[in-house]
Amino acid sequence: MRLINRSPARPLAVALAAAPFVAVAIAYAIGSEIRLAANPADKLLPAPATILDTAIRLFTEPDRRSGEILLWRDTAASLLRLLGGVGIAALTSLILGMLIGLLPYARRGLSGFVAVLSMVPPLALLPILFIVFGLGETAKIVLIVIGITPFMTRDLSQRVLDIPHEQIVKAQTLGASTWVIAARVALPQILPRLIANVRLSLGSAWLFLIAAEAVASDVGLGYRIFLVRRYLAMDVILTYVIWITLLAFLIDWALRLLTRKAFPWMEAGL
Amino acid sequence: MSFVSVRDVFQSYGNRPILERVNLDVAEGEFISIVGASGCGKSTFLRMLLAEEQPTRGAITIDGGAPAVEPGLERGVVFQKYSVFPHLTVRQNIVAGEGFQTASGRLRGAKRREALDRADAMLDRIGLNHVADQYPASLSGGMQQRLAIGQALTAKPRILLLDEPFGALDPGTRLSMHQFLTELRAETKMTVFMVTHDLEEGFKLGDRVLVFDKPRWDPHDPGAFGATITYDFDARDRGIPFQRILDLYPSLARAS
């Protein structure tokens, strides 16, 4: 039998999915063991048990100076920025994408501009944003918006254009106005794509968020990582990295669930 | 007398003529089959009937009205594919035939309930009431086309345009769709234009069969001339003409 026609049975499939995670954990444990054997005060690869202790401390013990648990404060601040930025970007790209996809006038006027805009490297604009908007929340949210809106807009407008022309003509023969075609034919069909876009852009959004927090901030997950870097506190950094990964995974999972629940017609054919 | 009138219609894309000097008169309630080789302009002609395209010269009018500049309520259409909305259930697709005309695209209150009742009656007629709450993607090809025809009829068009509506169906389903369309026509007396590749289907369903072809042909430049209606065949009474001539001229009947 050819390799392309072989697929693993259920228990083996689960084991295969877990294998890379286990391999990385074992590799880390071995590396940590070797370094700690040579120098018990080594900070570069703290033992897994140390990381666990640190994680429990970070999640439960309040800061001695402010009396707040910093990790939760950082999480709240970062999530607020992230969701604010992604939310604004999603709404903007939805409106622009619909306009470009449906109206030839908007397409002529905007699509070239959006295409050029999406080539601008957002991080290069970060200094400008800090100068214009100051060091507060605005600059960080605007960076996320600028970073992900153009490519979401390009994709959504293309999806609107991909709606079969027959459907648009059919809607016209049923007497639908431009507004009705936008609201009842195009919008429901690209909303699932919008959510898929948000899922794809969350990676870049986290990147822009952490970059902005690293440069200028006084709270946030990215800020904390770059702060404790000065003390070589690898246990704290690793806890934060795992926590961010978990948050990103949970958001992605929630959005996938939302797509399945909210758009039953997408799976009707399966 | 003529309901749909096509007068001296020319169509060309850039310098390439597609159709030239097309003239046609269709009475209300006639079923017109349009056949012809690929690329002979029959689909272009249907798009012009639909007002999706404007002819470069000439005009197409329905019931003496002004030539349309965009598709509208007067014309109903069923394409080979993508004629129903995948995100609406079967019943919602039928209701859309009425709801899309409103400013918001939705019906509310009493109007909505009445439309739902009418939709159920229509679903009964097209035999889809058992799948009313399913999405089109879960229906077979024949059911989707029945739904598309029902949806088009719900908007009460003056003429119904069918662009190879049964082209993607298997032979058995196709036969039952012929039956369905014949019955529906007997009930509604709708004026229908149908483009088809299947000659048998065209002659079986149509009152008239129009053949599109190029009357002039330049072997050095096959694209030099456009096509037109080269044959207008009376397909009523199994294609045998003059069967009802005595109905038209009662004096002759008396003489015999």
ipTM of the complex: 0.88
Residue B1 has pLDDT above 60, yes or no: no
Return d(Cα A228, Cα A237) in angstroms, integer. 7
Q: Is residue B10 part of a domain?
A: yes
């965009």: which residue's tokens? B70
Cβ-defined contact of B155 to A183 (cutoff 8 Å): no
């909303």: which residue's tokens? A191
Q: Is residue B93 part of a domain?
A: no
Q: Is residue B240 part of a domain?
A: yes
Question: Are B145 and B151 within 8 A, CB to CB?
Answer: no
B151 in A contact zone (CB under 8 Å): yes
pLDDT in tens, B204-240: 898 899 999 888 888 888 778 888 898 888 888 777 7
A264 in B contact zone (CB under 8 Å): yes
Mean of the pLDDT values across residues A121-128? 90
What confidence tier does A217 reach under pLDDT thresholds 50, 70, 90? Answer: confident
Going from the C-alpha of B31 to that of each of A246, A265, B67, B170, the distances in angstroms are: 64, 35, 21, 23
What confidence tier does B192 reach under pLDDT thresholds 50, 70, 90? Answer: very high
Residue A269 has pLDDT above 80, yes or no: no
- DSSP at B134: S
Residue A268 has pLDDT above 70, yes or no: no
Return d(Cα A53, Cα A60) in angstroms, integer. 11
Residue B77 has pLDDT above 60, yes or no: yes
**Which among B18, B22, B19 has a CA at the least distance from the CA of B8?**
B22
Tokens of A200: 């794809």
What confidence tier does B33 reach under pLDDT thresholds 50, 70, 90? Answer: very high
pLDDT in tens, A37-95: 998 888 888 988 889 999 999 888 888 888 888 889 999 999 999 999 999 999 999 99
For residue B217, the domain's CATH number is: 3.40.50.300
Which residue would you say has higher pLDDT here, B238 or B65? B65
Residue B9 has pLDDT above 50, yes or no: yes
Q: Using alpha carbons only, what angle is made at residue B50 by residues B182 and B80, rounded to the nearest 5 degrees?
A: 55
Residues whose CB is less than 8 angstroms from the CB of residue A54 and which lie 6 or more positions away in sequence, other chains included = A46, A235, A236, A239
Which chain B residue has the Cα nearest residue A171?
Answer: B100
**pLDDT score, position A16:** 94
Which residue would you say has higher pLDDT here, A74 or B248? A74
* Chain A residues 140-179 with a CB less than 8 Å from chain B: 164, 166-167, 169-177, 179
Cβ-defined contact of B101 to A184 (cutoff 8 Å): no
Looking at 1.10.760.10, 1.10.10.2160, 3.40.30.10, 1.10.3720.10, the CATH number of the domain A76-262 comes to 1.10.3720.10
**pLDDT score, position B32:** 92
Which residue would you say has higher pLDDT here, A4 or B217? A4
Q: Which of A169, A185, A265 sits opposite B52 (nearest CB)?
A: A169
pLDDT in tens, B106-115: 888 888 899 8
Total domains, chain B: 1
């298997």: which residue's tokens? B170
**pLDDT score, position A270:** 46
**Which among B71, B78, B34, B15 has a CA at the least distance from the CA of B60?**
B71
**In B, which residues are within 8 Å of A172 by CB distance?**
70-72
* Chain B residues 56-75 with a CB less than 8 Å from chain A: 70-73, 75
Question: Are B4 and B167 within 8 A, CB to CB?
Answer: no
**pLDDT score, position B82:** 83
What confidence tier does B193 reach under pLDDT thresholds 50, 70, 90? Answer: very high
Top-ranked range on mean pLDDT: pick from A20-24, A261-265, B250-254: A20-24
What confidence tier does A244 reach under pLDDT thresholds 50, 70, 90? Answer: very high
Q: What percent of chain B has pLDDT over 70?
A: 99
Residues whose CB is less than 8 angstroms from the CB of residue A58 and which lie 6 or more positions away in sequence, other chains included = A69, A70, A71, A236, A239
Question: Are A109 and A166 within 8 A, CB to CB?
Answer: no
Q: Which of A90-94, A246-250, B39-43, B85-89 has the lowest mean pLDDT?
A: B39-43
Mean of the pLDDT values across residues A221-244? 91
Q: How crowded is residue A113: how many other Cβ atoms within 10 Å of its Cβ?
A: 12
Q: Is residue B65 part of a domain?
A: yes
Substitution target in A162, A174, A180 with the highest count of B β-carbons within 10 Å is A174
pLDDT in tens, A147-159: 999 999 999 999 9
**In A, which residues are within 8 Å of B102 by CB distance?**
180
**pLDDT score, position A194:** 92
**pLDDT score, position B188:** 84
Domain residue ranges of chain A, discontinuous segments joined by +: 76-262
Q: What is the DSSP string of A31-47?
A: HHHHHHHH-TT--SS--
Tokens of B118: 């009418």
**Which among B64, B197, B76 has a CA at the least distance from the CA of A171?**
B76
Q: For all residues of chain B together, what is the average pLDDT?
A: 87
Q: How crowded is residue B134: how many other Cβ atoms within 10 Å of its Cβ?
A: 16
- Domain assignment of residue B221, given as a range: 4-87+135-255
Q: For all residues of chain A together, what is the average pLDDT?
A: 91
What's the CA dihedral at A204, A208, A209, A210 to 10 degrees? 100
Residue B41 has pLDDT above 90, yes or no: no
* Chain B residues 75-134 with a CB less than 8 Å from chain A: 75-77, 79, 81-89, 96-97, 99-106, 134
Residue A5 has pLDDT above 70, yes or no: yes
Q: Is residue B23 part of a domain?
A: yes
pLDDT in tens, B144-165: 998 999 999 888 898 999 998 8
